[in-house]
Structure 1
């Protein structure tokens, strides 16, 4: 490989889709180069041994080349996998879609890469799945530079357990009678503590509002699918 090559880069496939007769287009989260689009040529041929590696939720080391934005896969090595089943699988697709939005091309985000691995590990354990998602969303916003202070409200007053609050875009947490989230829930989130059912419900609504500010009207397909799956359970 030449000077435009990247060797054995730790990576995860976020999405893959067929390209022409025998190839696959990949959206790849890398540790050192952010989001990288990669063309895997010929991997859909019957004798290809690479196609089975290029799946979501598998830790890989990828080597690729190219002077342009779209890179060409040269080699793929398997490192580890995080088997997700049932609800955890759909949550994984949701996480992948979020990461694909908040991480940009050629924008290294090693903190998000590490956060992603931790989230997959917790999802694969299939315990406290909803809490895992809430803290992933919260930490993703922080790593992407969109953290909201959960210890103090927008007026600089400490969050109080007995009060109610709302999230207001461009301001943060504001005290409001009858607000959507309690101070006790905010304190639990700030401390990354165990979330009981009422706090989980408030945290879900709060984090959706926070995320939607930065999604700017973008529709998450995985969010809609996940909502339908949860209703069936």
Structure 2
């Protein structure tokens, strides 16, 4: 089976013998797939780096495809320091929790938009974490785990002065301690200036991602330390 040319990003790569690589790829509508590519040398060499769009052609009917053609489609995103580590975290997150060959209409665009946002980050305190939180929450929605920031588990509107906790498969539940409703409403409105709102979003994200990630730590998190 020979596909037409497809846009793609490389999420991860590892060696297969001396002259091949296994790539984890993200494709529009297709989602995440695994594919083998032969290393090239000389004038045929292609960098095969993350955070750069490629145009590829795939062959094969098995779960592990073969890349018969690969070309650079656009320049790589310019990411450095903690912004680069954040992009690596996004790549690892997709590889860890997105099922292989699970199609998605939005994941590719969401990923590309997040890279564009990271490229524009100038304030690591107020801009970087919101980029990551928005990606995480949108990724969870794509996986069918929706979060209603405006209403609690019983359908009552979130109150800015009430505290809430999260119950799996139910949603936010009023409580004596927990996250302030105003912070939940800020997240819904994408208003990230308040550090307590950013802290709240990070805590909720960790709770929701934990069952999907399991006990194995994320390698990219170690880079921030």
TM norm structure 1: 0.88
Distance, in Å, in 2 between the alignment partners of 1:214 and 1:173 is: 19
Whether 2:86 is the aligned partner of 1:91: answer: yes
Does structure 1 conserve the Cα–Cα contact (< 8 Å) formed by 2:58 and 2:68? yes
Task: Please say if residues 13 and 23 of structure 2, whose CA atoms lie closer than 8 Å, have aligned partners that are also in contact.
Answer: yes
Please provide the CA RMSD for this pair.
1.6
The alignment status of 1:27 with 2:24, answered yes or no, reads yes
Task: Determine if contact 2:35/2:67 at 8 Å carries over to the other structure.
Answer: yes
Q: 2:121 aligns with which of 113, 118, 126?
A: 126
Gap change, CA 1:28 and 1:87, over 3 Å in 2: same
Distance (whole Å) between structure 2 residues aligned to residue 147 and residue 217 of structure 1: 23
48 and 208 in structure 1: CA distance in 2 versus 1, 3 angstrom threshold = farther
5+ residue gaps, structure 1: 229-233
Residue of structure 2 in register with 1:10 after alignment: 7
Unaligned runs of 5+ in 2: none
SS in 2 for 1:115: helix
Matches within 5 A, 1:42-191: 42-43=39-40, 46-47=41-42, 49-52=44-47, 54-80=48-74, 81-127=76-122, 128-179=127-178, 181-191=179-189
Give the distance between the partners of 1:82 and 1:9, measured in 2 at CA.
Answer: 19
Could you tell me which residue of structure 2 aligns to residue 231 of structure 1?
none
Aligned length: 220
Q: Over residues 122-149 of structure 1, what are the superposed CA-to-partner deviations in whole Å (9 max), with x where a residue is unaligned? A: 1111231111001111111112211121
C-alpha separation between the residues in 1 aligned to 2:45 and 2:3? 18
Distance 1:141 1:95 in 2: 13
Pairwise CA distance, 1:203: 1.0
Q: Which residue of 2 aligns with 1:201?
A: 199
* 2:54–2:73 contact (8 Å) kept in structure 1: yes
Work out the CA distance in 1 between the residues paired with 2:157 and 2:193: 20
CA–CA separation in structure 1 for the residues paired with 2:57 and 2:138 = 29
Q: After the TM superposition, which segments of 4 or more aligned residues of structure 1 sit over 3 Å from their partners?
A: 48-51
Deviation at 1:175, TM superposition (A): 1.2
Measure the CA separation in 2 of the matches of 1:224 and 1:171.
32
Distance of 1:163 and 1:148 partners within structure 2:
18
Distance 1:55 1:216 in 2: 28
